[in-house]
């Protein structure tokens, strides 16, 4: 066996002997140092009503400041709970920490669609090793005074725990979405709504059109995992339809460079003026 191969095997063996906490510590510390030298910024396209161009530019500039190579506190938190948002298949937590850091100590209302089923027979499953509720627990840890809500089509993974409450919802059914928003714990508006559900264009549109009214002034509505192939449809819809219908919002399509994923590491970020 070549010396090089032997060395690689020993290194991998030693790495796997380390507990996950130690591995993550080394990974994140190394990435923080290297990321400060090798910066990478997201590609951002802004949309919205022409009367509010300044707000769209502001949002775009804020998003373009993010260095996606430097892990944030939220990356560490989400990884610890087992969500793939923080330096796993996706690196969205670099953007989220940048947008939400000033809200951390506030009593935010946050809602996330998609709790993370581990039933392999359901669409958008996290697989048998997935941890249902991972990102909701991560949000509760990050927003220490926040009320955290979630929903999913899979009834079996619903749970209530501390400041977290979850609901049943099928995002393809308008009536199910309306019914959910009408339930009393969800009557207020939200600082943050994140859609991490079915991840088809039709499902995104259905939940978006029936939920945007829940966003408070200054709040965010974010769709995760927008597909490269769906970008032309999104651009067209944002430019010709949503900019007019939702003129109180700025919209940005945010393409995050990431070594593990160049197919669906795109966010749609909407901020209410």
Q: Which residues bind ligand SAM (CB under 6 A)?
A: 83, 85, 112-117, 122-124, 126, 134-135, 152-154, 169-172, 196-198, 203
User: Helix or strand or coil: residue 192?
Assistant: strand
User: From the CB of 84, what's the least distance to ligand SAM, in Å?
Assistant: 6
User: From the CB of 210, what's the least distance to ligand SAM, in Å?
Assistant: 12
Backbone φ and ψ for 221, nearest 5 degrees, come out as -120, 125
Q: Is 98 a catalytic residue?
A: no
Of the pair 171, 210, the CB lying nearest ligand SAM is at 171
* DSSP E strand stretches across the chain: 43-48, 109-113, 147-152, 164-168, 190-195, 215-226, 249-255, 266-272
Of the pair 59, 198, the CB lying nearest ligand SAM is at 198
Of the pair 59, 223, the CB lying nearest ligand SAM is at 223
- How many whole angstroms separate alpha carbon 227 and alpha carbon 244? 24
User: From the CB of 16, what's the least distance to ligand SAM, in Å?
Assistant: 24
- How many whole angstroms separate alpha carbon 261 and alpha carbon 224? 13
User: From the CB of 143, what's the least distance to ligand SAM, in Å?
Assistant: 15
Q: Which of 199, 213, 241, 273 is catalytic?
A: 199
Beta bridge partners of 215: 190
Of the pair 198, 238, the CB lying nearest ligand SAM is at 198
The maximal CA–CA distance of the chain, rounded, in angstroms, is: 68
- Catalytic positions are 199
């Amino acid at each position: 066996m070549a010396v090089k191969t032997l060395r690689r095997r020993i290194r991998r063996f030693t790495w796997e002997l380390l507990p996950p906490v130690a591995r993550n510590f080394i990974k994140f510390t190394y990435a923080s140092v290297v990321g400060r030298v090798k910066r990478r910024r997201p590609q951002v396209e802004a949309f919205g009503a022409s009367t509010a161009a300044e707000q769209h530019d502001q949002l775009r500039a804020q998003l373009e400041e993010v260095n996606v190579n430097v892990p944030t506190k939220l990356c560490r938190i989400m990884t610890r709970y087992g969500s793939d948002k923080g330096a796993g298949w996706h690196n969205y937590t670099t953007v989220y920490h940048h947008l939400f850091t000033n809200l951390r100590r506030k009593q935010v209302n946050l809602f996330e669609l998609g709790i993370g089923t581990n039933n392999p027979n359901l669409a958008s499953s996290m697989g048998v090793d997935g941890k249902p509720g991972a990102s909701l627990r991560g949000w509760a840890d990050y927003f220490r005074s926040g009320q955290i809500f979630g929903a999913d089509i899979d009834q079996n993974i619903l749970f209530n725990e501390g400041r977290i409450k979850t609901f049943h919802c099928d995002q393809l059914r308008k009536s199910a979405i309306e019914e959910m928003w009408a339930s009393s714990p969800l009557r207020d508006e939200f600082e943050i709504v994140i859609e991490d559900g079915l991840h088809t264009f039709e499902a995104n549109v259905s939940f978006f059109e029936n939920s945007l009214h829940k966003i408070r002034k200054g709040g965010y509505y974010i769709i995760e995992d927008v597909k490269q192939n769906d970008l032309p449809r999104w651009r067209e819809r944002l430019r010709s339809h949503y900019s007019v219908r939702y003129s109180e919002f700025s919209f940005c399509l945010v393409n995050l460079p990431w070594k593990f994923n160049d197919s669906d590491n795109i966010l749609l970020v909407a901020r209410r003026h």
